[in-house]
Amino acid sequence: MTAKPAIGIPAILKTAFVNALVALVLFSLMVGIRTEAGASGQLTYWTRFGDLASLVAAVFGGSIVIELLRQWIGPTGAEKLVPPAVQSGISFIGRYLAPALLIFTLLVPVIFYDQRYILDLAILVLTYVMLGWGLNVVVGLAGLLDLGYVAFYAVGAYSYGLLATNFGWSFWICLPLAGILAAFWGVLLGFPVLRLRGDYLAIVTLAFGEIIRLVIINWQDLTGGPNGVSGIPRPSFFGIPLDNSDDGLAARLGIEYSPTHRIVFLFYLILALALLTNWATIRLRRLPIGRAWEALREDEVACRALGINTTTTKLTAFATGAMFGGFAGAFFATRQGFISPESFTFQESALVLAIVVLGGMGSQLGVALSALAMIGGFELFRSLETYRMLVFGMAMVLIMIWRPRGLIGHRAPTVYLTKAQAISSDLVKEGHG
Amino acid sequence: MSGDKMSEKILGVDRLTMRFGGIVAVQDLSFSAARKKITALIGPNGAGKTTVFNCITGFYKPSGGAIRLTHDDGRTVALERLNDFRIAKQAKVARTFQNIRLFPGMTALENLMVAQHNTLMRASGFTLLGLLGVPTYRDAEKRAIDLATDWLKRVNLLDRADDAAGNFAYGDQRRLEIARAMCTEPALLCLDEPAAGLNARESAALSELLLSIRDELGTSILLIEHDMSVVMEISDQIVVMDHGVKIAEGTPREIRDDPKVIAAYLGADEEEAAAVMEGGS
């Protein structure tokens, strides 16, 4: 690596000059000339060549600094930047991170009992953890790019919302129904779509997400259209309401009523649902169906040659992911008490997909960490106000440069003879849809 | 007796034709593969060998003709009517690929477990029983691991069972792919150029492996191969194709001396013709 010929000053200057030229072209119209509509509607403009010059100069100087840094550090790689001692430390932490996180999560309502804001945020993060784990089955394991995952979230939410408000069914009856209905829609979407691959599949799922949203907006008789469904019942503690009435949980236990009880209950409810998703996914991975999902992601043609029915395998992946999305949707409806089509835009699908990709496709811990980073981190930057999105976007870009295969990119084998060893991320395929 | 004659033949290809638009890749090809024997399909590049393979294994739907597979119990399956995965699942035809198609991100053991998907799916009660962890599934999984271990031993990769298949050397990947195909417990094993890219020592080991599959397990093998030393050494029967039609069929000795075969290879490629004449002698 040291044999690399040192780049001379002319080469550095050339790179910097090219970068400056690109900046000049880019910024000359954006910064250099300012246009505005004048008093009588005519176009007025004035030039800001000073600003332009300083920007181009900054790019020129910055390029030189970066080139020099690059020479000084050498080729960047994880091994080079992180000393071995730190790496072994990280792997040590990695082993105990998941149990530690789980224990901490269980204790969150105890530690932050008085801080409603943190409890609400924790519930939000857990909702996205669950959605991430659900989508992980489709994208991470089966390698099917699904841009319309929010559709199943919406189906789940509206299933519970409508069944509860129209028929007065309880949350615990509607929860499995919401999951089943979402899975049903997953299969219904899957049948015509799953013969498509890659980009085509992504576009059709994107369209499906929009179709569901538009149907909800326009089917006013059933869904209330843009007004949404309100007055959705809060969940009960297996039949015992969580309010300050005489037969509420607090009264029965003989303790003073506090609205926080409901929040804590919701917290443990979503935690249980998320852990159920996690348990099912881990379990499914070790079953033939889960192995077939991963094999499908690796090589579909080989799967067919081994007698695996690729269509039903894809459909089960879609249905399983959709079912977990439906559970999460039912939870969302009962937590909010109000749902409207606005909650189920493409933005949500993109966010959940970003969580899965950032976490490392297929990794349960990675998805949980990235949901924490994406949702929690976004709140963390709240003080930056206008620059929040900018900083957040830059942080994401940096993470993807540092770890292109996500936070936890390697794959753990599902079965082993002597020793389970992690499989490096560059061998694992992403799937072609 | 004609009944005995029928059961000696595992695969019968009858007037198989495959057209891609105006191009006729295979025309009126008829041949048969004997049970518990190794049949080789050879011919110059572009002769249509892989097309025939893809028709037999269901990746292409033939434009015409019939492909019949007769199982040990006399059950006959019309392969041209089954599509893709059903040929492997129901007719028990396994195949390997010219450009190896392993699951690179999965371990060698996992690759062999995926091959036993259909057996394990039944044992896991189509996932539901397996999700609950019933003991019958656990037993079935143990048996599947045993079968996979057995095959890893046969192809000499047991010590690398837990390594990712993508990390294997080329020759090891070829052997692992054969092991994976064999884990589906096929009646007919189709190998598309199994010796391509192997050195002399690896080719010899491959020949030994294929002979042991034929002799110890009684699995019939159909293979496409360019390496004539392998073909001449292990084949019981050779079918020669050129430009989509069969030009000769016979034992290795007959093929070696057949003037039509030599002409086809001479017309196509001098080196290959020389290989045909020298191979196996």
Which domains, ranges and CATH numbers included, belong to chain B?
A: 2-99+190-278 (3.40.50.300), 103-167 (no CATH)
Pairing state between β B38-42 and B237-242? parallel
CA proximity to A128, closest of A335, A409, A408: A335
Contacts of B150 in chain A (CB under 8 A): none
Nearest-by-CA chain B residue for A283? B131
pLDDT tens sequence across A317-346: 999 999 999 999 999 998 988 898 988 988
Q: What is the pLDDT of residue B264?
A: 79
> In this predicted structure, what is the pLDDT of residue A202?
87
Dihedral of alpha carbons B180, B182, B187, B192, sign: positive
pLDDT given for residue A176 in this prediction: 92
Q: Which residue has the higher pLDDT, A247 or A213?
A: A213
Chain centre distance of CA A339: 21
Q: Which residues of A touch B180 (CB under 8 A)?
A: 306
Least confident range from A37-51, A250-264, B36-50, B257-271: namely B257-271
pLDDT of A295: 92
Is A383 in contact with A375 (CB distance < 8 Å)?
no
To the nearest whole Å, the CA of A291 is away from the closest chain B CA by 6
Q: What is residue B273's predicted lDDT score, i.e. its pLDDT?
A: 57
In whole angstroms, give the CA distance from residue B281 to residue A13. Answer: 67
* Chain-chain contact of A316 with B127 (C-beta, under 8 angstroms): yes
What percent of chain A shows pLDDT beyond 90?
21
* Chain A residues with at least one Cβ partner in B under 8 Å: 280, 283-284, 287-289, 291-292, 294-295, 297-299, 301-310, 316, 411, 413-421, 423-424, 427-429
| pLDDT at residue A323 in the model | 94
Q: What's residue A84's pLDDT?
A: 63
Is the pLDDT assigned to residue A184 strictly greater than 60?
Answer: yes
| Residue A94 pLDDT greater than 60, yes or no | yes
Is B99's Cβ below 8 Å from some Cβ in A?
A: no
pLDDT for the residue B61:
87
pLDDT at residue B255, as a whole number: 85
d(CA B86, CA A306): 9
Name which residue leads in pLDDT, A301 or A406. A301
**pLDDT score recorded for residue A332:** 93
**Residue-averaged pLDDT of chain A:** 83
Q: Using CB atoms, which residue from B84, B102, B115 is nearest to A304?
A: B84
Ranges of residues in chain B with a pLDDT under 70 are 1-7, 266-281
Q: How far apart are CA A285 and CA A264, in angstroms?
A: 31
Q: Please tell me whether residue A31 adopts helix, strand or coil conformation.
A: helix
User: Confidence class of residue A143 from pLDDT cuts 50, 70 and 90?
Assistant: confident
The span from the CA of A167 to the CA of A172, in Å, is 14
pLDDT tens digits for range B188-223: 899 998 888 888 888 888 898 999 888 888 889 999
pLDDT of A389 over the 50 cut: yes
Q: Report whether pLDDT(A4) > 60.
A: no
Per-residue pLDDT, averaged over A48-64, amounts to 88
Shortest distance, CA A27 to any CA of chain B (angstroms): 45
DSSP-H helix ranges across A286-309: 288-298, 300-305
Residue A278 above 50 pLDDT? yes
d(CA A161, CA A178): 10
CA of A316: which chain B residue's CA is closest?
A: B127
- Asked if pLDDT for residue A26 goes beyond 70, the answer is yes
**pLDDT on residue A3:** 44
pLDDT of residue B177: 92
Strand, coil or helix: A384: helix
Give percent of chain A above pLDDT 70: 93
For helices A9-27 and A49-73, the axis angle rounded to 10 degrees is 140
